[in-house]
Copies of this chain bind each other. A is one copy, B any other.
Amino acid sequence: MIETTNKHDGAPQGPRPLAEALEMTRALIQQTLDGVDPALTDIARHLGKSSGKHIRAALLLSAATDARGLIEPDAVTAAAALEILHLATLVHDDVIDDAPTRRGLPSIQSQFGKKTAVISGDYLFCLCFSMIAGMSHQYPEQISLFARAISSLCIGELNQHKHNRDSELSVMGYMRIIAGKTAALFFLALYAGGLLGGADEKQRRLLGRIGFAIGMLFQLADDCLDYESTSDTLKKSVKHDLAEGVITLPLIFAMRQNPALKTIAARSRLSAGEIRDVAEAVVQKGGLSQARTIAERYYHRACKLLDQLDEPVRQMQIRQLLDQIHNRRH
């Protein structure tokens, strides 16, 4: 049985500034993973080791910052739940992609087997819903928001999978895929944060739109980095997207310039050399810079929307995270 709590042993329960709230979120994630059923202890420990940068949690907390610059404990719970949800999707992604590693460590699937990976992912989904359910008396909308974001994510993943090795995938088709598989969760982070931080309906919608733009920027930047960097600089990408049959924007643009690339993109089992050749062609044909231009547009859209936010601390904090994502080069 799951036992979740948003209380920290000995820690006072009042509202906190961002840095402290983020620290509490990290502690709550760890505490939640530590508190799982003994059957899952090894897996939870493994997941705890490879924990990421918690960018989604930081965004949720920033959006939840009130006029005093403080964040309520409920937002810490929601932020931790969001990161655990993200972890669940990563575990299932590894099953789907048969990925050998994740964040530089062996994936759950390669370490513990497929069965354990599927079930652990399901368990993490439950953990997330349990945490949200613990606060649903006050915020009954949260569950619907989370459920909707996860379903978008599933649909995005399904659509991506459908278009694997589809050399005719359009720019719009690609945008729809990443809107579901990535931006929906960033939308959730900022919208839910706004709800928990007492933002009114109009500001919440605005926050959601900012989140969406940040999510699109985040995914586009990720896809560009995949063509720019080698496995040494980007831990995640020991395997290139293309090796998985995933066609992203830089390649779509490059294929427009050089249709010969389509034949290679449609093939399965590309050699490392072939992938390197495609990556070089994508850079030479301007696919990478075109994709970077689109990413920039989302950055500017997010900036413009941010200007309309009426809460200065919230605004400043989100802007810092946005710039961090924008300047990411590995």
Contacts and interface: CB of A to CB of B under 8 A. Distances in A.
Interface stretch (A152-160, A213-221, A285-293, A310-318): A152-160
Nearest to A135: B140
A40 interface: yes
Interface in A57-91: none
A137 B122 CA distance: 25
A126 B140 contact: no
Contacts of A122: 92, 121-122, 125, 150, 154
Contacts of A161: 115-116, 119
A96 interface: yes
A125 B125 contact: yes
Contacts of A143: 129, 132-133, 136, 143
Nearest to A89: B122
Contacts of A136: 136, 140, 143
Contact of A148 (B2, B148, B159, B162): B2
Nearest to A164: B115
A114 interface: yes
Interface of A: 1-2, 37, 39-40, 92, 95-96, 114-116, 118-123, 125-127, 129-130, 132-134, 136-137, 140, 143-144, 146-148, 150-152, 154-155, 157-159, 161-162
Contacts of A116: 158, 161
A147 B133 contact: yes
A96 B118 contact: yes
A95 B114 CA distance: 9
Contact of A1 (B126, B148, B162): B148
A8 to B, nearest CB: 21
Nearest to A97: B115
A96 B114 contact: yes
Contacts of A121: 118, 122
A95 B118 contact: yes
18 contacts: A2-B147, A2-B148, A37-B158, A39-B155, A39-B159, A39-B162, A40-B155, A40-B158, A92-B122, A95-B114, A96-B114, A119-B154, A123-B155, A126-B150, A126-B154, A129-B143, A129-B147, A136-B143
A162 B43 CA distance: 13
Nearest to A95: B118
A118 B118 CA distance: 7
Contacts of A40: 155, 158
Contacts of A144: 130, 133-134
A158 B119 contact: yes
Contacts of A147: 2, 126, 129-130, 133
A151 to B, nearest CB: 4
Contact of A151 (B130, B140, B148): B130
A138 to B, nearest CB: 9
Across the A-B interface, the 4 shortest Cβ-Cβ residue pairs = A133-B143, A123-B154, A130-B147, A126-B151
